[in-house]
Structure 1
Amino acid sequence: MNYSAELKKIITSQYLYSATRITLATVLPCLVLSYFGILKEYFLFPLGTSFVALTDQPGPFIRRRNSLTFAVICFVFVALIASLVKGIIALVFLEIIIFGMFFSLIGVYGQRLGAVGSLALVVLAIFIDGHLTGEHIFKGLLIFTSGCIWFLLIFLIVTTIQPYKLASQMIGENYLQLAEFLKIKANFYQKNPDFDKLYSQVISKQIEIKNLQEETRETVFKTRTIVNESTTLSRLLMMMFLNSMDLHEKLMTSESDYKKLQESFDKGDILVKMHNYLNILSDELSNIGIALQSSKRAKPLYNIELEFQELNVAYFELRNRQISPDTLENFMILRQIMMRINEITKEIEEIYKVFSQNVKLAKSLSTGLDLKKFLPNQEKINFKVLKSNISLSSSHFRHAVRVTIALLIGYLVSLLPFLVIGHTYWILITIIAILKPAYSITKQRNLLRLYGTVVGAVIAYGILYLIDINAVLLAILLISMVLCFTFLKTKYFWAVLFMTMYIFLSFNFLKPGNVNVIFKDRIVDTFIAGVIAFAVSYLVLPVWEHTQNLDLMKKSATANLTYFHSVMAKFLNQNYNLEEYKVRRKNAIISLANLSDNFQRMISDPKNQQKKLEVVHQFVTTSHLITAYTASLSQYANDERQYSEIDYESWTKKIESEMNQVSALLSDQKISETLKMDSHIEPEDSSLEDLILKRKTEIKENDFYDRRDPDKISRLTELKNIHDVLELIYSVAKEQRKVIEKYRYEKSTLLQS
């Protein structure tokens, strides 16, 4: 592992940048207040700042500004109501029910308002017993409001000074994810690869890339300064992001029959050399990503042209030594992979040219795309959307009920006299942090929260026991805060660990010598909250992942069919629209990632809720292969050359018949005889077979050329690869249909019995 590069990724990331901003915005007022000796009296100021800061989600400036403003209003209102009804048990229960339902339900409008809702409930937990405001309610609320507005002002100032910073960091992160994706793909070429493990890693990485691309699309395409302004930087950022999406497809096109490849070339070292070269390209992508995150120009780490030449020489030397009529088709496959590697190499070289920020080049850049079509779908902010989700059929409503019930139980437990709980709000805050719409995520966060809290508390206790120098403790506090906010979205265990540390240190500054009480309360409260959250998520209106599978499978099957049809339109000389093709490509990748994500969550559900796990797993794997092979085929659709030797019409009917059968089976529809007959069509590719036979004869007679141009490939190799990819798509689509047929047969047999 390159530890230097890994460190640079973290240092230049949006997470550390945002964490540092939140920490400084929170701590600087604390230092000023502490200097004047009034920190305890004005502690609500930094508290309000940190709450509003945590609602700031990546996205367009206007959306971020509006959500932060809405957060300030919600937090102040909740704090006011909670302070006014404190001690009146009946009204406290009523406010928990009203606020619990409302602020959990606004998650229907997306992650941004979902974050505002969750933090609003945290504010409720903090103010619920009135210990923060005391008798001076309005003075405390004024201080709290000032702290909330303070972060809003900081946000407005920072984004005005650096309008492109977030977009640049997010685009950079896209390249870092692509680098990791390429590194996984490279492992298919190493000695004795674990194919099942690698395919699982590929699918997991596809999910991460899809989620990040969705967030980046919204940030880039809806940021006015990037879309509308004609500055060099805005155009470059737009093109860098679009290039990353095209590169993602090129990486998907490198899909091949790896098992057959390993069997054919397991004795030589050509595959290992490919593995090493792909890792070099992965390092270059990481380098580009880090440069984008740090707003610097990227310079190549290697002479990739020379590195590729060496790989090319190794391939041709092997070919010249071992090619024969028996190995011809194996070398045709390998040659095609070399071409794909060459295309990825050229794409990276082109990205470096764009990154050089040549002014003339930048002014000539134009996407030519209707960017609105590439934006993620989001619910509009209107009451009808909220109203339509007030039903037990809505997963959002069921989650809101679970949160509300869990908060009511948590508050009840805190009132029990024999428990003597010192910090009521810690139980409620932990419940809010752990309890998520999906049981699997709740289960995972529950364990991570407990482990992180225990480890963090032990470390913090040791620090306070051994160190009594305030300057050192303050430095540790600052570092803990930065690391907590940095890992909050990516590594929850570490986020909780550092959160626990800075909470301990903060309380020590406010109330020195109180560490034993804090240690006991923190551990006990976390354990109680974990038990409540787990029990409620399991028993109260649970939404199991298997209930989502059928709908997601239908969407994935439909998206793959339309994606394949869009690619074949070019071969069939039908209306081929590049923009429509890219939209369908995006939809296929998103549908696949959503299905894969749901499957991975289902694995964490209770065993009795992992229904048809093997069927879904096979469907996810075959869907991934269909998407990847279609992406491979699309590279030829983008070419102006004609390949008339292939019977595209028959192949299209044959493959689409299988795909349509899958969609029909998933919708419990009867399969027509026409569809069944189309599946058995035999494409007339006899001329291709004749060409291969002729080529084998030439090789047998030692009549072949030592052609070493990495940019050229024989027409026969291209024809063979197109034929093989079509055959692979058909084979996988057929396998997928059989999987669903078996599932339906088992289901009908079970119902009859």
Structure 2
Amino acid sequence: MNYATELKKFASSQYIYSAVRITLAIVVPSIILAHFGLLQEYFLFPLATSFVGLTDQPGPFIRRRNALIMAIGIFSVVAVIASLLQGITPLVYLELLLFGLFFSMIGVYGQRFAAIGSLSLVVLAIFADGHLSDSGVIKSSLTFLAGGICYLIVFLIVSKIQPYKLASQMIGENYVELGNYLKIKSKYYAKNPDYDDLNLQVIAQQVKIKNLQEDTRETVFKTRKIVNESTTTSRLLMLMFLNSIDLHEKLMTSESDYRKIHDSFDDSGFLESLSAYLSGLADELENIGIALQSGTKARPVTNLDTELDRIYDQYFDLRNRKLNASTLENFMILRLILVRITGVSEDISTMYRVFTQNQKLAKSLSTGLDLNKFVPDEEKINLKLLVGNISLKSSHFRHALRVTIALLLGYFISSISFLGIGRSYWVLITILAIMRPAYSTTKHRNLLRLYGTVVGAFAAYGLLHLVDNSSILFAVLMLSMILCFSFLKAQYFWAVLFMTIYVFLTFNFLNPGNINLLFKDRITDTAIAGIVAFAVSYFVFPVWEHTQNLGLMKKSAKSNLRYFRSVMDVLMNKKIGVEDYKLSRKNAVIDLANLSDSFQRMLSDPKNQQKKMEHIHQFVNTAQLLTAYIASLSQYSKSGREYPEIDFRSWMTKISAELLRTTLILAKKELKDEIISESRLQPGDSVQKLLEKRKKEIRDYDITDRRDPNRITHLTELRNLQEVLELIYEVAREQRKVAEHLDPDVQSTIVKQ
């Protein structure tokens, strides 16, 4: 691992940038209050600043601003109500019940509302307890309101000064993650690859890229300053993001029959050189990403042209030694792999030119796309949607019930006097932090929360006993806050660890000398909250992943069918708009990632709930391969060349029928004999005759040492094109067979072939 590069990625990311902004918005007013001896009295001010800051999710400026204003208003109302009802036990239970259900349910309107709802319940927990708000309802509420407004002002100022910063960082992160994806793919060519482990890594990375692309689409396509203004920066950012999506498709096309390649060329050493070169390309993508994140000009890490020439020299040397009639098809596969790698290399070189000649290239950009169609759907705020989800069939309502019951249990346990829990709000806040809609995610966060709290508590305990210098402690406090907010989204263990340290240090500054009690309370409250969260998530209306898989498989199967048809329409010279093609590609990638994400969560479900695990795994793998092979096919549709030797019409009918069979089986619909007959068609390709002719030429004549990296024979393209179509059909057929074994009720209605 290159630690210098990892540090650059982290230091220039949106997470550390956001963390520093929130930390400064908290610390600067705190220092001013502490200077005048008012920090303890007005501690709610920086607390409100932190809560409002945590609701600031990435996205377009207007949506972020409106969400912050909404959060400030809701937090203030909740604070007033909770303060007025404080100490009246029956009414506290009632507000936990009503607010718990409502604020958990508003997550139906999207992630932004889910964050506001969750933190509203945190505000409720704090004010219902009363430990931090005992200075009177009006004073506490106004202090809390002022703290929220403070963050809003900081946000507005920073957004005005750096309007493109978030978009640039998010686009840069796309390139960093593409680099990580390519690094994984490079390992398929290394010596003795672990295919199962690499497949799982690819699936996990696909999920990460999909989620990031969705967030970035919203930020870029819905930011008026980027879409509507014709500035060099806005056009450059748009160009770089669109290129990253196209590049993702190209990287997916690198899917090959790796076992066959290793059987043919493992002893040559060439595959290891390919692996090293791909790893170098991954470094270049990370370099571009870091430059975008930090707002600097990117310069190539290595000379790509020289390295690529070296790879081609090795290939031609190997070809001269090993090419014969029996190895011809293997060399064709290898040649096409080099073509794809060359395409990725050229794209990376183009991106570097964009950095050096951005004005010329950026001003020529015109997408010609209706960008609104590519933005993730966001539920509109209406009461009908909320009411419609009040049903045990709704995963949102089930989650709301679990959260509410957990809060009621947590509050009841914390009020038992002999337990001696001094801060009941810690129990409730920890429950809210742990509980998520999926059991597997709740379980994972529960463990990380416990480990992070224990390690952080011991670290803070030791620090406070060993260090007396308040300046050093304050520096550690600030660093811990920055690191906590930075890791909160991606590295929860580390976020909790640093959160625990800064909580200890904060309470030590406010009320020195209570370190032993603080240590006991923090560990005890976390353990109690963890037990409550685990029990409720397991026993109260759980939503197991196996109940979600069928719907996600249906979506993925339909999306791949549409994606395949859109690519074939282009190959068959049918008129199809670029926008329609890109929409079908986007939907296929998103639905694949959602299915993969569900499968990964299923791995953490209890064993008795991992139903049909082997078949689900096979379906996910076939869906992954289908999307990748269709992406490979799409590269031929972009070349503009004609391939009359391929019977595209029959292939279209044959593969579409097989993909359609899968969707019908999953939907429990009856199959028509016509569809089954179509899936058995034999395309009338003439590629095999040309291939046999070429093999005869190789047997009869010497191989010429022709070293032209740009020359790709028409036969090589034809054979690879035919092979991709064959692979798509075989994988589609395998996926259909997997679908037949998923539901016993379905098997009786289908004709097995």
TM-score (norm 1): 0.98
- Aligned equivalent of 1:337: 337
- Secondary structure of 1:743's match? coil
Partner Cα separation in structure 2 for residue 566 and residue 648 of structure 1: 13
- Secondary structure of 1:193's match? coil
Q: Deviations over 1:50-80 (max 9, x none)?
A: 1100110000000000000000001111110
Indicate conservation of the 8 Å contact 2:549/2:595, yes or no. yes
Indicate conservation of the 8 Å contact 2:239/2:362, yes or no. no
**Greater Cα offset, 326-335 or 358-367:** 358-367
- Give the residue type in structure 1 aligned to 2:620: V
Moved over 4 A (4+): 745-750
For this pair of structures, how many residues does the alignment match?
749
Partner Cα separation in structure 2 for residue 131 and residue 732 of structure 1: 61
1:98 aligns with 2:98: yes
Quote the sequence identity (%): 62
Counting only pairs closer than 5 Å after superposition, residues 437-456 of structure 1 correspond to structure 2 as: 437-456=437-456
- Aligned equivalent of 1:234: 234
Q: Deviations over 1:218-248 (max 9, x none)?
A: 0000000000000000000000000000000
- Give the residue type in structure 2 aligned to 1:643: Y
Q: Deviations over 1:342-384 (max 9, x none)?
A: 0000011111111224322221111111111111111111111
Task: For residue 749 of structure 1, report the CA deviation from its aligned partner.
Answer: 8.1
1:502 aligns with 2:502: yes
- Aligned equivalent of 1:732: 731
Partner Cα separation in structure 1 for residue 373 and residue 54 of structure 2: 30
Q: Deviations over 1:535-582 (max 9, x none)?
A: 111111111111111111100000000000000101222222211011
Partner Cα separation in structure 1 for residue 746 and residue 520 of structure 2: 52
Partner Cα separation in structure 1 for residue 258 and residue 715 of structure 2: 21
- Aligned equivalent of 2:588: 588
- Secondary structure of 2:512's match? coil
1:644 aligns with 2:644: yes
Task: For residue 746 of structure 1, report the CA deviation from its aligned partner.
Answer: 7.7
Counting only pairs closer than 5 Å after superposition, residues 733-748 of structure 1 correspond to structure 2 as: 733-745=732-744
- Give the residue type in structure 1 aligned to 2:373: K
Q: Deviations over 1:268-308 (max 9, x none)?
A: 11100100100110000000000000011101111001100
1:178 aligns with 2:178: yes
- Secondary structure of 2:104's match? helix
- Aligned equivalent of 1:24: 24
Task: For residue 703 of structure 1, report the CA deviation from its aligned partner.
Answer: 4.3
Indicate conservation of the 8 Å contact 1:342/1:711, yes or no. no
Partner Cα separation in structure 1 for residue 516 and residue 145 of structure 2: 32
1:127 aligns with 2:103: no
Partner Cα separation in structure 2 for residue 93 and residue 525 of structure 1: 19
Partner Cα separation in structure 2 for residue 652 and residue 45 of structure 1: 64
- Aligned equivalent of 2:320: 320
Partner Cα separation in structure 2 for residue 102 and residue 670 of structure 1: 42
Task: For residue 677 of structure 1, report the CA deviation from its aligned partner.
Answer: 1.1
Q: Deviations over 1:4-33 (max 9, x none)?
A: 100000000000000011111101111111
Counting only pairs closer than 5 Å after superposition, residues 133-532 of structure 1 correspond to structure 2 as: 133-532=133-532
Task: For residue 38 of structure 1, report the CA deviation from its aligned partner.
Answer: 1.2
- Aligned equivalent of 2:705: 706
Partner Cα separation in structure 2 for residue 586 and residue 748 of structure 1: 32
Task: For residue 129 of structure 1, report the CA deviation from its aligned partner.
Answer: 2.1
Partner Cα separation in structure 1 for residue 34 and residue 130 of structure 2: 23
- Secondary structure of 1:407's match? helix
Task: For residue 135 of structure 1, report the CA deviation from its aligned partner.
Answer: 4.6
- Aligned equivalent of 1:615: 615
- Give the residue type in structure 2 aligned to 1:640: G
Which structure 2 segments of 5+ residues have no match? none
Task: For residue 689 of structure 1, report the CA deviation from its aligned partner.
Answer: 1.2
TM-score (norm 2): 0.98
- Secondary structure of 1:128's match? helix
Partner Cα separation in structure 1 for residue 297 and residue 262 of structure 2: 39
Indicate conservation of the 8 Å contact 2:101/2:400, yes or no. yes
Task: For residue 748 of structure 1, report the CA deviation from its aligned partner.
Answer: 5.7
Distance verdict in 2 for CA 1:161–1:135, change over 3 Å: closer
- Aligned equivalent of 1:47: 47
Indicate conservation of the 8 Å contact 2:741/2:747, yes or no. no
Partner Cα separation in structure 1 for residue 740 and residue 355 of structure 2: 50
1:688 aligns with 2:687: yes
Partner Cα separation in structure 2 for residue 209 and residue 712 of structure 1: 34
- Give the residue type in structure 1 aligned to 2:738: V
Task: For residue 136 of structure 1, report the CA deviation from its aligned partner.
Answer: 2.0
- Give the residue type in structure 2 aligned to 1:232: T
Partner Cα separation in structure 2 for residue 706 and residue 690 of structure 1: 25
Indicate conservation of the 8 Å contact 2:236/2:358, yes or no. no
Task: For residue 443 of structure 1, report the CA deviation from its aligned partner.
Answer: 0.4
Q: Deviations over 1:440-477 (max 9, x none)?
A: 00000000000000000000000001001100100111
Indicate conservation of the 8 Å contact 2:106/2:113, yes or no. yes
Partner Cα separation in structure 2 for residue 258 and residue 316 of structure 1: 20
Partner Cα separation in structure 2 for residue 101 and residue 742 of structure 1: 39
- Give the residue type in structure 2 aligned to 1:541: F
Counting only pairs closer than 5 Å after superposition, residues 531-610 of structure 1 correspond to structure 2 as: 531-610=531-610
Indicate conservation of the 8 Å contact 2:687/2:719, yes or no. yes
Partner Cα separation in structure 2 for residue 194 and residue 543 of structure 1: 33
